[in-house]
Amino acid sequence: MSIVKIRYTDGTWINICSCKLMQSGGTWSNAIKNGDKILYNGVWVTVDCIVVTPCGGVNAFDGGQSYPSQQIITLGSGLGLVTLNYDSVSVPDKFQVFFNNALVINTGYRGDVSHQPALDTELASRGLPSELINSPGSGIITFNKTTNHSTAIVKVFAPLSGTAWSYTLSCPV
């Protein structure tokens, strides 16, 4: 089961039980999205949502742009290799894993290289430099978890419409 954490504009985080998670196609997706407004103590606030999920679970997205989508993955205190198994399907996406405040995995944009002009245009509209798309869109990459820090943050950058992606971040072995 996932826990949903919401960060308010003042920087505080809370766990929220009233946030509904919908199961679609066998995977969980967050019903509240970044930028949504919710009523909190009588005031409408803009929130950032992060779904906290256990390692080994499938995280997936299908739809419009998501830049970035961010999830907290609980890894526990065990040590060993942690594996990111990712699939950007066709439309390019970039997967990054942060552990103990350090970037430990960066796939770069992965997907069908025919989307390069669209990616260049979208990144330029955000004031960002061009990044090359590499194929294939799926792969496996690891990092070695050498401390008992218990969580990782996965960010998926999906700047083009019509994107779909999935990933699994394993527990340390």
Q: Are residues 92 and 169 located together in one domain of the fold? A: yes
Span 142-151, average pLDDT: 94
pTM exceeds 0.85: no
Residue 169 has pLDDT above 50, yes or no: yes
Phi, psi for 151 (deg, rounded to 5): -130, 155
Q: Are residues 84 and 154 located together in one domain of the fold? A: yes
Comparison of pLDDT for 162 and 18, the residue scoring more: 162
Q: Could you give the CA distance from residue 61 to residue 87 in angstroms, rounded to a whole number? A: 11
Q: Are residues 157 and 109 located together in one domain of the fold? A: yes
**Are the CB atoms for 62 and 30 separated by under 8 Å?**
no
Q: Are residues 132 and 117 located together in one domain of the fold? A: yes
Q: How many domains are there within the chain?
A: 2
Q: Are residues 17 and 62 located together in one domain of the fold? A: no
Q: Are residues 97 and 128 located together in one domain of the fold? A: yes
Q: What is the pLDDT of residue 6?
A: 54
Q: Are residues 163 and 88 located together in one domain of the fold? A: yes
Q: What is the pLDDT of residue 7?
A: 55
Q: Are residues 100 and 148 located together in one domain of the fold? A: yes
Q: What is the pLDDT of residue 18?
A: 36
Q: Are residues 26 and 110 located together in one domain of the fold? A: no
* Residue 39 domain boundaries: 1-54
Comparison of pLDDT for 2 and 41, the residue scoring more: 41
Range of lowest pLDDT (25-39, 56-70, 121-135): 25-39
Q: Are residues 3 and 13 located together in one domain of the fold? A: yes
Q: What is the pLDDT of residue 61?
A: 77
Render pLDDT for 68-94 as a digit per residue (tens, 0 to 9).
888 889 998 899 999 999 999 889 999
Q: Are residues 50 and 61 located together in one domain of the fold? A: no
From first CA to last CA, the distance across the chain in angstroms is 22
Q: Are residues 82 and 106 located together in one domain of the fold? A: yes
